[in-house]
Structure 1
Amino acid sequence: MKGLIALRTRLYLVRHGETAWNAGGKFQGHSDIPLSQRGREQAKALADRLSKQKIDAFYSSDLSRARETAVILAEPHQGTVYSLPALREINFGRWEGLTFKEIAETYGELSARWWASPLTITIPDGESLQQVVDRCSKAVTELVMRHAGETVLLATHGGVIRVIVGLALGLDLNCFWQLRMDNLSLTVLAYDGPEKAVLELYNDTCHLHEK
């Protein structure tokens, strides 16, 4: 048991800071939307919170809103940020840049089917949630094995974090939208190997409310 605990790997999962599209309720997906000034301030607040924590490695999605978040978080640690395209948000295809209301009005039946069964429905010019599950599952397995016994921070996206948490807990990922995920929230999973995880913290944003 002591040997297992010594090799426990913690993933700090951070959703990127706010963007103008977040504020406007628009789906972003693979669209490379940068952080807003508020998003940068959010990232700095979490960077202050984590500045005394030992973090061994920093990874991010290759989209700029996630990468900039990771760079801000890594700065107090003088850490290098490594990009992982597998950590990209779901590709929303033709839905990117649209609001929930606009998607429902334009893609009525398909939209309803996707919300009910995102694992199996492919968004026009986009991807299904199952494709996100496949790439994220492989990436997490590789990271947990590569960083056994270490603490690793991943700056990524709401959909990706929901998927990683859902996989760790064995949830039906067709219901993944029922997992709330705020901008610049912190979620922590502790792994004793790639297939055994404990959720230690979820969607924590206390650093955004402290004075």
Structure 2
Amino acid sequence: MREFIVEADGGSRGNPGPAGYGSVVIDAATGETLVERAEYIGVATNNVAEYRGLVAGLRAARELDPSATVRVRMDSKLVVEQMSGRWKIKHPDMKPLAAEAARILPPGQVTYEWMPRERNKHADRLANEAMDAGKRGEQWDAGASRAELDARVPVTPAAPEPSGPPGDATAGAAKAREALARSRPPADPPADTAQEEATTHTDADLRAARTVATPAPGPAVAPAAASASSVGSAAVTPAVTPSVGWGAAPDLGAPATFVLLRHGETPLTPQKRFSGSGGTDPSLSDVGREQAERVAAALARRGTVQHILASPLARTRETAGAVAARLGLEVTVEDGLIETDFGAWEGLTFGEVRERHPDDLNAWLADPEAEPTGGGESFAATATRIAATRDRLAAAYAGRTVLLVTHVTPIKTFVRLALGAPPESLFRMELSAASLSAVAYYADGNASVRLFNDTSHLRP
């Protein structure tokens, strides 16, 4: 019996935005590429495009040999886990596409496996060729794409730039999460670093925070955080010299740089209590106000911030106000930067939540789609919101340095998405009050984490 490998991918420049998919069918025995499929599908989300790519690949495999076994390989953790039956399909747009994919071949003939995004370059390139064609008002043509690709000359990439290593009540969650994991029977291998969660994986979401990656063509401002794939019809991999600080490598142009400032301490911060958007809205403590003045002075010395945006909560607006007064800038309130709503856990310590709501807490530690007790916001929902905010702001502030004064979970989520790290990495980052982090988003779609949890400005 013949065996095929189907590699598929999809992308959306905006999520939702102009979208396309790519699929390739490979002979498992010889490694020969048998079929390539790609299509511009108009405005859609990234996940819809990924599922459309899967459907196209499975159909191509069936056309070649309906009796063949098929091994599907995708870098979409969401699609792989849902099609394998391990994750529920909740989104209404995903259900009919998953059902359609499941009907193409008998279930026993198809298996699914996750692979790192950098190994899915073939399908990713096809998807971006399709999106490029759609931008020109055309549909993808294999012959034209091959001719363009052959005309390009690869360039040796530079070495990646190293990056550094969120806080309140979630600081104690790592140990509890690990204990919970040890108490369970082993599941399927976790596929190294799962690189997405439902509805957050745009074409730019999951690029590792490297200073070098294959570029994304398309508009001058690509979606914010980048994917680790080769994106678009370009096969050139530019050499990028890592730069220190918040500047851009000159051959990529100035990035949209987000300097991420966590607000100063409130009375709840040293007690490590859940303090989100669903409970009281505490102001800064005396310590927090001193921290805000210190970070303001540090940013004034650096002199690179051009705009200031803040979450609508009191502690972030107060922190931003201190910086704005020092820099002579205005503060724009950005609702997308608000902290996660922790529901009934607001104001409680991690230990108190564990005593009062142990089952809900365990679910929250294990599943990014689980909500805190009382209808709070899940980490998956937070990531969706942050990804949309990031894309919108990166487009609006291309080539500018913007201070985003926000909270623990949003900052950790910005960093997680830029690194392509799995959801559980949120529990493994420490983020101090009034700390600075920075992520740069380039015009080619690449993302670079430049700074994390810097508190040097708080030292006497």
Q: TM-score band, normalised by the shorter chain? A: over 0.9
Match of 1:105 in 2: 355
- Cα distance per residue 1:160-211 (max 9 Å; x no partner): 10001001111102331111111000001111048421011110000111x3
In structure 2, what residue type is equivalent to 1:92?
A: F
Separation (CA, whole Å) in 1 of partners of 2:298 and 2:269: 23
Separation (CA, whole Å) in 2 of partners of 1:47 and 1:182: 16
Q: Which has the higher helix share?
A: 1
Match of 1:28 in 2: 275
The answer as to whether partners of 2:274 and 2:342 remain within 8 angstroms in 1 is: yes
SS at match of 2:403: strand
Match of 1:144 in 2: 394
SS at match of 2:269: helix
The answer as to whether partners of 2:252 and 2:443 remain within 8 angstroms in 1 is: no
Identity across matched positions, percent: 34
The answer as to whether partners of 1:140 and 1:194 remain within 8 angstroms in 2 is: no
Match of 1:14 in 2: 261
How far is the alpha carbon of 1:109 from its aligned partner?
1.5
After superposition, the Cα gap between the structure-2 partners of 1:26 and 1:95, relative to the gap in structure 1 and judged at 3 Å, is same
Aligned counterpart for 2:435 among listed residues 168, 185, 188: 185
In structure 2, what residue type is equivalent to 1:203?
A: N
The answer as to whether partners of 1:168 and 1:195 remain within 8 angstroms in 2 is: no
Match of 1:96 in 2: 346
Q: Which one is further off, 69-78 or 33-42? A: 69-78
How far is the alpha carbon of 1:66 from its aligned partner?
0.7
Gaps of 5+ in 1: none
In structure 2, what residue type is equivalent to 1:23?
A: P
Match of 1:37 in 2: 286
SS at match of 2:434: coil
Match of 2:320 in 1: 70
Match of 1:126 in 2: 376
Separation (CA, whole Å) in 1 of partners of 2:450 and 2:388: 22
Aligned counterpart for 2:424 among listed residues 162, 167, 174: 174
Q: TM-score of the superposition, structure 2-length normalised?
A: 0.44
SS at match of 1:131: helix
The answer as to whether partners of 1:144 and 1:194 remain within 8 angstroms in 2 is: no
Separation (CA, whole Å) in 1 of partners of 2:424 and 2:334: 24
Separation (CA, whole Å) in 2 of partners of 1:194 and 1:159: 27
2:280 is equivalent to residue 48 of structure 1: no
The answer as to whether partners of 1:145 and 1:194 remain within 8 angstroms in 2 is: no
Larger radius of gyration: 2
Match of 2:405 in 1: 155
Q: Which one is further off, 185-194 or 128-137? A: 185-194
Separation (CA, whole Å) in 2 of partners of 1:102 and 1:91: 17
Structure number with greater CO (CA < 8 Å, separation at least 6) is: 1
Q: TM-score of the superposition, structure 1-length normalised?
A: 0.94
In structure 2, what residue type is equivalent to 1:35?
A: L
Aligned residues: 209
Gaps of 5+ in 2: 1-237, 239-248
RMSD: 1.5
After superposition, the Cα gap between the structure-2 partners of 1:156 and 1:194, relative to the gap in structure 1 and judged at 3 Å, is farther
How far is the alpha carbon of 1:106 from its aligned partner?
0.3
